[in-house]
Amino acid sequence: MNLDEIRTHISRLDKELLTLLAKRKGLSLEVARSKLENPRPIRDQVREQALLVELINQGRQLGLDAHYVTQLYHTIIEDSVLSQQALLQDLLNPQDEVPAISVAFLGLRGSYSNMAARKYLSRFQATMVEHNCETFQQIFDTVESGQAQYGILPIENTSSGAINDVFDLMQHTSLSIVGELTQPIEHCLLVAVNTDVSKLKTLYTHPQVYQQCSQYLKTLPGVKVEFCAASSNAMELVASLKQDDIGAMGSADGGELHGLKPLVRGLANQKQNMTRFIVVARKPVEVAAQIPAKTSFIMSTGQQSGALVETLLVLRSHHITMTKLESRPIIGNPWEEMFYVDVAANVNSNEMQAALKELKDIVRFIKILGCYPSAEVAPTRIPSKALSQGNAGVPAVPPHRPADKNAAMSLQIGRFYMSRQEPLLAAMLATWPDRSALQEAARRLKEHGGQVLAAPCFEQGDSRQQQQRLQQLREIAAQFDLAAMTLVHTPEQLSRAAESLDLLLLQPIEGRRDELLTAAGRSTRPVLLPLADKLEHTLAEAEQILTEGNQQLALLDTQSRSLPELLRLQQQSRLPLLGQLPGQDSLLPELGHALKEAGMQGFCITLNEEDDMVPLQQLAQRLYQD
Ligand SMILES: C=C(O[C@@H]1C=C(C(=O)O)C=C[C@H]1O)C(=O)O
């Protein structure tokens, strides 16, 4: 076959794939209808897990790697679940057949709020009429007066926290929350014409974006920064001037609406930056009982001691999970607080109705702000046991929570739980690899059932190169759904690594890490502390970290200590213990298995550039199958 013929063939297959996906979606909607007739929850994670395990094994036989299959099916299942939910919601809340829906949001075309509004409206079969607003108050006014059907408001951001003005306005509105959505915020450097960073003289941006990208901007000392009222204004200006020495900062999608191209992506200091938006409307919606719902309410309690605790105990006694608690002052009543509460419950459920009845007896004020479908469809996870090669068994319990008797001792790294039953498996590259080697290591680690990818970001290079390595490690780990770790020597390195990675490995030389221990204790990231020579030194160092506040601490044995020593350590400390082992030891699987039996909760396998991962794969099999 020549190139054209092969491409024709590929196109035909792609069409078939699409046809099959559309058929699958149709069947999924039939499932939703049957779940409506015989009421059952829309989401069934036991079914999803069984399906994923079967697909992974079938995929392997066809030469497709487990990670690829899992990623594809997470996307397919997410769409399937959201489509089922949307169908149920539409049946329950029939919309008038309107050709256009109007939405009020902050900023102009291309603002983050505009992108959120577009995302929300994409589920409706109607065109969007945009109401650009200059203030949050104006959004409330526009929806309250009926000029717009929906208002989109940012309520919290993962780096800057609660958006207080919106909380304060919610106190006094008659509007209801009818939806939520989360929008990733990725600041990019946007330009109107082909150019290069070195040519730039002026950057237009909003002060908050400037602040969130301060580290990147320090690398452009000659560039002047001009502030605009919103990032969408900056985009508009740069698009109209069309010069090669100016740029704007904002989202790539937003920039595209103005014909701008992203020259550099991922400028923010903090890489994972998301904003949660709420959707408000004049009429509340009803949420189908079979889909996960959230209810938001505000309340004020008396000022006697324990008043807030009592309200929380009411929620607990009805098994209602609280997902958010914020307090805001009550305007005009100095020192009194209004609490904003989000719970994972449908307002019409028996538990929630009973809880509300009890709450009304003990609070001064309570108002439901709305009940809406929860927008999150967390991917169903496959336990390492199912992933480590050769296992076709279907796990019985969805792996959300550790089914670990010693849960109090287990630690969470990224989204993984470390436990004696399912030890954590980390691969640590001895030297910094190039991008493709790092990707290949990540792919294979994931394929074998490992969870943490580690590489030395700080061993060479200047601060900028180190920053790039941190970013690359984080990106590649995320791409393969792994957690990321690096070795840190100084408090400054620790705080930089803590911004991007999931686990911080402290340098092993005791006596030279006093300040590092204090910094680790003040960090909010989990820390791995290599054992000191003497047991009592290790315990003292661990104590130093714990007393500073950070309780997410595990110990690492870097010297293959004897079994009695390890057991003694475990008797004296409840901290999880990991072992560091060389990746090419032919005894690795047996050694790991024996150490697991002795209570080790994880392994850090060191790999040199030329090493293969065969022993690690065998270790994973022993750890997760036996
Ligand atoms: C389609 C179903 O509903 C949901 C979607 C699934 C899917 O798309 O495969 C699987 C389980 C459920 O979470 C079902 O229950 O079979």
| Least reliable range by pLDDT among 2-11, 15-24, 31-40, 308-317 | 31-40
Is residue 190's pLDDT more than 90?
Answer: yes
User: What is the model's pLDDT at position 393?
Assistant: 42
Is residue 499's pLDDT more than 90?
Answer: no
Interatomic CA distance for residues 559 and 112, integer angstroms: 51
Going along the chain from its start, the domains and CATH numbers come out as: 3-92 (1.20.59.10), 188-264 (3.40.190.10), 291-378 (3.30.70.260), 384-625 (3.20.20.70)
Mean pLDDT of all residues in 572-586? 92
User: What is the model's pLDDT at position 410?
Assistant: 66
- What is the Å distance from ligand 1's center to 39 Cα? 14
Determine the atom of ligand 1 nearest the C-alpha atom of 43.
Answer: 13
CA distances from 364 to 299, 337, 338, 384, 577 (A): 7, 11, 10, 49, 49
User: What is the model's pLDDT at position 83?
Assistant: 87
- What is the Å distance from ligand 1's center to 175 Cα? 34
Mean pLDDT of all residues in 596-600? 91
DSSP 199: G
Q: Which two tokens stand for residue 444?
A: 């294979």
DSSP 434: P
User: What is the model's pLDDT at position 626?
Assistant: 62
User: What is the model's pLDDT at position 466?
Assistant: 96
Interatomic CA distance for residues 312 and 579, integer angstroms: 41
- What is the Å distance from ligand 1's center to 78 Cα? 9
Determine the atom of ligand 1 nearest the C-alpha atom of 35.
Answer: 15
User: What is the model's pLDDT at position 583?
Assistant: 93
| Least reliable range by pLDDT among 58-62, 141-145, 388-392 | 388-392
Q: Is 405 in the pocket of ligand 1 (CB under 6 A)?
A: no
Among residues 353, 348, 344, the alpha carbon closest in space to that of 324 is found at 344
User: What is the model's pLDDT at position 386?
Assistant: 67
Is residue 159's pLDDT more than 80?
Answer: no
Contact 389, 448 (CB under 8 A): yes
Which residue's structure tokens are 């110990």?
555
User: What is the model's pLDDT at position 305?
Assistant: 81
Interatomic CA distance for residues 302 and 363, integer angstroms: 7
Determine the atom of ligand 1 nearest the C-alpha atom of 24.
Answer: 8
User: What is the model's pLDDT at position 170?
Assistant: 93
Burial 450-471 (b: 16+ CB within 10 A, else e): bbbbbbbbbeeeeeeebbebbe
Q: Collect all residues with Cβ–Cβ distance below 8 Å to 189 and sequence separation of at least 6.
A: 197, 200, 203, 247, 248, 249, 262, 263, 264, 267
Determine the atom of ligand 1 nearest the C-alpha atom of 51.
Answer: 9
Q: Crossing angle of helices 514-522/535-548, nearest 10°?
A: 40
Mean pLDDT of all residues in 547-555? 91
Q: Is 471 helix (H, G, I), strand (E, B) or coil?
A: helix
User: What is the model's pLDDT at position 158?
Assistant: 82
Interatomic CA distance for residues 622 and 533, integer angstroms: 30
User: What is the model's pLDDT at position 399?
Assistant: 37
CA distances from 591 to 387, 413, 450, 463 (A): 21, 23, 17, 38
Q: Is 79 in the pocket of ligand 1 (CB under 6 A)?
A: no
Per-residue pLDDT of 420-440, as tens digits, reads 888 999 999 999 999 999 999
User: What is the model's pLDDT at position 336?
Assistant: 78
Q: Is 33 in the pocket of ligand 1 (CB under 6 A)?
A: no
User: What is the model's pLDDT at position 387?
Assistant: 65
Is residue 383's pLDDT more than 60?
Answer: yes
Is residue 273's pLDDT more than 60?
Answer: yes
User: What is the model's pLDDT at position 388?
Assistant: 60
Is residue 89's pLDDT more than 60?
Answer: yes
Within 10 angstroms of residue 243's Cβ, the number of other Cβ atoms is 15
Is residue 512's pLDDT more than 90?
Answer: no
Q: Residue whose CA is closest, atom 8 of ligand 1? A: 77
Per-residue pLDDT of 218-252, as tens digits, reads 999 899 999 988 889 999 999 999 999 999 999 99
User: What is the model's pLDDT at position 180?
Assistant: 93
User: What is the model's pLDDT at position 395?
Assistant: 40
Among residues 272, 262, 608, the alpha carbon closest in space to that of 427 is found at 608
User: What is the model's pLDDT at position 381?
Assistant: 76
- What is the Å distance from ligand 1's center to 132 Cα? 39
| Least reliable range by pLDDT among 163-167, 387-391, 472-476, 562-566 | 387-391
Interatomic CA distance for residues 413 and 602, integer angstroms: 11
User: What is the model's pLDDT at position 401?
Assistant: 38
Mean pLDDT of all residues in 204-211? 88
Query: Three-state SS across 160-198?
Result: CEECHHHHHHHHHCCCEEEEEEEEECCCEEEECCCCCHH
Among residues 315, 445, 408, 466, the alpha carbon closest in space to that of 601 is found at 408
Q: Collect all residues with Cβ–Cβ distance below 8 Å to 364 and sequence separation of at least 6.
A: 299, 300, 301, 302
Is residue 303's pLDDT more than 80?
Answer: no
- What is the Å distance from ligand 1's center to 45 Cα? 8
Contact 489, 516 (CB under 8 A): yes
Amino acid at 478: A
Q: Is 43 in the pocket of ligand 1 (CB under 6 A)?
A: yes
Contact 584, 605 (CB under 8 A): no
Is residue 212's pLDDT more than 90?
Answer: no
Mean pLDDT of all residues in 123-150? 91
User: What is the model's pLDDT at position 96?
Assistant: 65
Please give the mean pLDDT across all residues of the chain.
90
Is residue 453's pLDDT more than 50?
Answer: yes
- What is the Å distance from ligand 1's center to 74 Cα? 11
Q: Is 555 in the pocket of ligand 1 (CB under 6 A)?
A: no
CA distances from 17 to 51, 58, 287, 439 (A): 18, 17, 33, 27
- What is the Å distance from ligand 1's center to 496 Cα? 41
| Least reliable range by pLDDT among 220-229, 399-408, 615-624 | 399-408
User: What is the model's pLDDT at position 408?
Assistant: 38
Q: Is 44 in the pocket of ligand 1 (CB under 6 A)?
A: yes
Among residues 258, 234, 255, 256, the alpha carbon closest in space to that of 246 is found at 234
Is residue 91's pLDDT more than 90?
Answer: no
User: What is the model's pLDDT at position 126?
Assistant: 78
Mean pLDDT of all residues in 135-140? 95
Q: 409 pLDDT band (50/70/90 cuts)?
A: low
Determine the atom of ligand 1 nearest the C-alpha atom of 47.
Answer: 11
